[in-house]
Homo-oligomer: A and B are copies of this chain.
Amino acid sequence: MMKTTCLSLLFILCLLGSASTVCQGQTYDGPEEEIDAIIAASVAFSQHYMKGDFDKMAASYTLNGAILPPGADIIQGREAIEKRWTLPEGVSISHHRSTPTEITVSGDFAYDIGYYEGTTVKKDGTESSWKGKYLIVWKKVDGKWLIHMDAWNGV
């Protein structure tokens, strides 16, 4: 709730042009409550990843949702998606964040393009950071925004 309010505030500041650093290059097109809900779902996804809640990550997708990870075929369905996101024992994600550059809502679909970044903590405790860009198609199912198509690659 706190987060949504905070994001709404950022969104309003963005519209007013008074938070150019935060909002630089960001374009939101659609009802504010829908944009807020999508941003909140994106933040929740990062939190699930950092907590190692792989089942909740999978539940962030539609039932026939698909991911397009670099170097693999299209992976479709929650079970297969959960398997792909699940980290080996002892490996964790200490940081994950997505920063949209554009979110556009069209009815029960939306697309969301931007950059992601993260840090993996390996078994031996060493960290490796990575970043890239993504294109997500969101779908609103039973009033909830879910990731429907999720493609990404490195920068």
Contacts and interface: CB of A to CB of B under 8 A. Distances in A.
Interface of A: 66, 68-74, 101, 104, 106-109, 111, 113, 115, 133-135, 137, 148-149, 151-155
Contacts of A137: 111, 135, 137
A7 B104 CA distance: 30
Q: How many copies does the complex hold?
A: 2
Contacts of A107: 106-107
Nearest to A135: B151
A64 to B, nearest CB: 9
B151 A153 contact: yes
Contacts of A153: 68-71, 151-153
Given A71-B155, A107-B107, 4 more contacts: A71-B154, A73-B133, A74-B133, A106-B106
